[in-house]
Amino acid sequence: MSVDDLRREIADGCRVLAARGLAPGILGHISVRVDGTRLLVRCRGSRERGLAHTTADDVRLVDLDGAAGAPGELDGYAVPFELPLHTAVLRRRPDVDVVVHAHPRDVVVADLAGLPILPIVGAYDIPGAVLAAGGVPVFPRSALVSTADLGDAVADALGDRPVVVMRGHGLTATGCSVAEAVLRAQAVATLARLSLDVVTAGGELAPISVDDLAALPDLGGALNLETAWRHELARLT
């Protein structure tokens, strides 16, 4: 995929985050690894209008230290304050090409209420159940991840998992594509919202049985990623 195609894909991903309420307003960003030393990331500019209105022009090529990755790339733009979050994960995880940082309200509320992300549903959301069954770690600080040390701390908390919840802050999700990372963030937000609803209704959270989890089929990337992502893009229009 060309750099220009990746810019458009990141812009689409940002708009989906906003449409799903995962990154309302102006906060949140997506990055994509381009090569061993550079990444594309949604940047801040004097004309930005928030994630819901992200354009490919808001996505800029930078190196792992936040400098312009090509002549003129940062003209009129600045990298997000939390770029160290992205670069730390990309440095640590060669299996990851995309990092999504978002602020889903339900994830923040559920974590502050002491509710872990558990596989409380099965066929309702199979990829979400599988993700939760593997464990969703929590980064216990609410700081802005604007330094290399804090970025490394988030990467430590994430470990080899696809998503980490960030206490009083939001979440960071990873993937091999923008679609995969954004859909993982959405799955965690859905589980958090369901968990809050269950507790509000007077119930108790309990994961589905091991047998039911094992019986869930892998419906494949054509449905879980490609069709799901086409749906998200169609919702934007």
Q: In the prediction, which pLDDT does 99 show?
A: 98
Distance between CA atoms of residues 13 and 30, nearest Å:
8
Residue 46 has pLDDT above 90, yes or no: no
Which of 9, 73, 82, 204 does the annotation list as catalytic? 82
Measuring CA to CA, how many Å separate 106 from each of 40, 46, 196?
Answer: 28, 30, 8
What number is the average pLDDT over the span 83-109?
98
Percent of the chain exceeding pLDDT 90 equals: 94
Residue 162 has pLDDT above 90, yes or no: yes
Distance between CA atoms of residues 183 and 96, nearest Å:
15
Single out the residue of 80, 76, 70, 16 nearest to residue 43, CA to CA: 80
Q: In the prediction, which pLDDT does 24 show?
A: 84
CATH of the domain at 216: 3.40.225.10
Q: In the prediction, which pLDDT does 1 show?
A: 85
Q: In the prediction, which pLDDT does 107 show?
A: 98
226 catalytic? Reply is no
107 close to 93: Cβ distance less than 8 angstroms: no
Residue 47 has pLDDT above 90, yes or no: no
Tokens of 117: 């992300």
Q: In the prediction, which pLDDT does 9 show?
A: 98
Chain centroid offset of residue 171 CA: 7
Tokens of 200: 């509000």
Distance between CA atoms of residues 2 and 7, nearest Å:
9
Q: Structurally, how many domains does the chain consist of?
A: 1
Residue 61 has pLDDT above 90, yes or no: yes
> Mean pLDDT of all residues in the chain?
96
Q: In the prediction, which pLDDT does 237 show?
A: 86
What sign has the CA pseudo-torsion 80, 165, 40, 237? Answer: negative
pTM of the model: 0.97
- Residue 31 sits in which domain range? 3-236
Beta strand ranges found along the chain (DSSP E): 29-33, 38-42, 44-45, 59-63, 77-78, 98-102, 138-139, 163-166, 170-175
Per-residue pLDDT tens for 182-233?
Answer: 999 999 999 999 999 999 999 999 999 999 999 999 988 898 999 999 999 9
Question: Poorest-confidence range of 66-70, 114-118, 163-167?
Answer: 66-70
Four-CA torsion 161, 233, 223, 117, nearest 10 degrees: 30
Distance between CA atoms of residues 173 and 159, nearest Å:
12
